[in-house]
Amino acid sequence: MLERVNGLKRALAAGTPAIGVWCSLATPLTTEVIAGSGADWLLIDGEHSPNDLRSIVAQLQAAGAYPTCEPAVRLPSDDPNLIKQIMDGGARSLMVPNVRTADQARTIVAAMTYAPGGFRGFSVGHRANAFGRIRNYHATAREQQLLAVQVECETGVANAAAIAAVPGVDALFVGPGDLSTNMGAMGNPSAPQVQASIAQVLKAARSQGKAAGILAPQQADAERYLKAGFTMVAVGSDLGLLARGSDDLVARFKPR
């Protein structure tokens, strides 16, 4: 058995835009609905959603029925033990929040990589290698892995080019909420200083031949970022779709 090609990694390497949807509801059923939507990728959120290892694995299983949609997992931190567990559970596309330095990025890459290149713990059979069925998995695992590191503070912005230059980093992904908050503009990613930093991250990623990504749930923002050159763009979330859809539905029947 051969490992399935990571379509998201291939698209980003080619400079092709890849449209994604955040999955925050922590249930396999809603993740399965998103996976079948035609999205190029989805993000199972382990940082700000009530997910644990078992619920993440269950969502990876649900998304696996849709091979054209690559499921990525955002970890709550850069803890190597969490990286090992999530990867053994079948995630090969990872997003790590608040990466501030190139050294931090190098450690994350090492945690994803078997020796001698890194220190990912070795296990003969797990979900990532189809329980031992993928031929030469341990020697070739890095080929289909993708790492998107989130830039969410001024330190990360200042070090963005150095972070992007780290081998094994595939994308710099802007977290506009945290970035705006950390820059004194909470809830206002459109603030001029935040927009300047977002543009700086894009420039840094492109200078190193890496992709840039961002979460942009407003259509006008998403279209603007795509036009600017961002290619890993999340355009909404399951939570947002349900909340706005239910609000709109109920409002139609409420007295005005």
Q: Is the distance from CB of 149 to CB of 171 less than 8 angstroms?
A: yes
Active site residue 48: yes
Residue 133 Ramachandran class (φ > 0 left, ψ -120 to 50 alpha, else beta): alpha
DSSP string, 36-94: TTT-SEEEEESSSSS--HHHHHHHHHHHTT-TTSEEEEE-SS--HHHHHHHHHTT--EE
Whether 40 contacts 8, CB under 8 Å: yes
Catalytic residue among 4, 48, 133, 135: 48
DSSP letter string, 94-154: EEES----HHHHHHHHHHHS-TTT--PPP-SS-GGGGGGTSTTHHHHGGGG-EEEEEE-SH
Q: Give backbone dihedrals phi and psi of 74, rounded to 5 degrees, phi first.
A: -95, 125
Residues assigned a catalytic role: 48
